């Protein structure tokens, strides 16, 4: 139930409660009028009944108009809220279409469509690169946990190929202990992966990996290997918290906007 509907119910309940009190008050007034009529005085009795009818009709009419007025107020308020929501959605759509995210999405879509492909979204849970790789590897030959372990193992066995490209947050070169910690972190779910990990994965599976991105040439890793490349898309602006990787799939007309 919307906030407007909740407000409407609350206002109506308050009005109905007020009207019930007024009806109760009128009944007390009617009893007073009846008691004031002398027994057997037909003229006074007739006047009393006429007065009671007028009071009842007046209150009924008053309550009807109050409910109608409240209903009209709620309709106006609902229309204003709907107009406000429509304007906000239109502004959000305008902002999105002029955002870096939208421009990036459109460029990646164009690149993929030329190859008969489209983005296949994966879960943005810190494992997106590994999920995308698992999705691309034929027949799901490995799961995400095993992929992380094999990636870390390869990097440990080829320290010289990776450690020189790593540095601490302070910009200092990695020590052996830093590198060991880094490889241990790779094995943990939720730790983000990047180009070095992709390089290791290309060697583990002896397959080329192509990373399609907007604004830059496709990153190609493992080009020394033959066969169709594993294809990923890299998005700098897809998520508010940082970069994201997706898989790709065959282009389908009815899912063009995915």
CA distance 84 to 88: 6
The secondary structure of 188-257 as a DSSP string is: STT----HHHHHHHHHHTT--EEEEESSSPPEEE-TTS-SPPEEEEEEEEEETTEEEEEEEEE--GGGTT
Task: Taking the CA atoms of 28, 30, 33 and 35 in sequence, report the sign of the dihedral they define.
Answer: negative
Q: Which residues pair with 210 in a beta bridge?
A: 220, 231
Tokens (6 digits) for 116: 């008969």
CB-neighbour burial class of residue 161 (10 A; exposed 0-12, middle 13-18, buried 19+): middle
Classify the phi-psi angles of 190: left when phi > 0, otherwise alpha if psi is within -120 to 50, otherwise beta. Answer: left
Neighbours of 100 (CB within 10 A): 12
Q: Which residues are part of the catalytic machinery? A: 125, 128, 244
Q: Which residues pair with 232 in a beta bridge?
A: 211
């Amino acid at each position: 139930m919307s906030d407007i509907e909740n407000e409407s119910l609350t206002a109506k309940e308050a009005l109905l409660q007020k009207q019930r009190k007024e009806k109760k008050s009128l009944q007390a007034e009617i009893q007073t009028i009846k008691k004031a009529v002398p027994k057997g005085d037909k003229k006074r009795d007739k006047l009393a009944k006429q007065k009671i009818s007028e009071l009842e009709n007046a209150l009924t009419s008053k309550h009807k108009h109050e409910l109608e007025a409240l209903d009209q107020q709620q309709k106006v308020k609902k229309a204003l809220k709907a107009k406000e929501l429509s304007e906000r959605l239109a502004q959000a759509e305008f902002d999105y279409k002029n955002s870096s995210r939208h421009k990036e999405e459109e460029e990646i879509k164009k690149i993929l469509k030329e190859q008969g492909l489209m983005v296949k979204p994966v879960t943005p849970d810190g494992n997106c690169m590994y999920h995308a790789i698992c999705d691309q590897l034929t027949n799901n030959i490995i799961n995400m946990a095993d992929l992380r372990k094999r990636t870390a193992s390869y990097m440990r066995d080829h320290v010289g190929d990776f450690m020189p490209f790593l540095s601490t947050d302070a910009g200092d070169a990695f020590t052996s202990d830093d590198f060991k910690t880094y490889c241990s972190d790779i094995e943990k779910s939720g730790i983000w992966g990047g180009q070095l990990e992709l390089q290791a994965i290309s060697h583990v599976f002896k397959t080329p990996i192509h990373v399609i991105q907007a604004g830059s040439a496709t990153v190609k890793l493992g080009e020394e290997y033959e066969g169709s490349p594993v294809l990923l898309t890299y998005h700098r602006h897809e998520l508010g918290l940082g970069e994201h990787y997706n898989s790709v799939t065959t282009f389908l007309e009815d899912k063009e906007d995915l």
